[in-house]
Structure 1
Amino acid sequence: MDSGDVDFAHTDEAARKRRDKAVGLARYVWDRGIGGPELLALPDDRLRKLARAAGANPPSTRETWSVVAEMLDEKSRWAAVHPDDPRAVPAHADEKIMWVKPPLPPWPSR
């Protein structure tokens, strides 16, 4: 790439927009009680649906989702230190099962 070519995905403006989108997604995801590792384990189709439910255009790469996961981890650490703060409790944790399915118990052996 010569000096006249600009990689728009890695400009300061793109980084700012990616962070702004990540903040909105992180708020929505946090309120559903989804943690960073759980988020990153979701398949792409579920991530797209999650972004749309949050009112955002789905990120085109996993880079934004990685930033969201980091924010969720940071919020979880903060919540652990501030358990009595109402912001430390996800407001819609009952909706988590819509996005993250609990593992199925194994069938009993006979």
Structure 2
Amino acid sequence: MTFWVLAYAGAAVAEIAGCFAFWAWLRLGRSVLWVLPGTASLILFAWLLTLIDASHAGRAYAAYGGVYIASALVWLWAVEGARPDRWDLIGAAICLAGAALILFGPRQPVA
């Protein structure tokens, strides 16, 4: 389980950083060169998601959604300096609970 947490956390950082690089270029007027590390970061994100041991890719991606939401709020606070409010935190907790249910809920064996 620790490996899953690290893989999902790494994927979240890589995706958010990659997307932020494009945001910086297109919305903040930074150099187009921001796209190069942004693209590399998005490739790393995709690779990290392949390390998740799930029966189907869609299930790994769906569970990642909850991790992404929580990570985006950490980014909001740490990088952008805007503190999440209680509704952000409650929403993230609900999403993480849903992600855990998707990953760890009992399943019928795949035939």
TM-score by length of structure 2 reads 0.36
Structure with greater helix percent: 2
Work out which of the two has the higher radius of gyration on C-alpha atoms and give 1 or 2.
1
Higher RCO by CA contacts (8 Å cutoff, separation 6 or greater): 1
TM-score by length of structure 1 reads 0.36
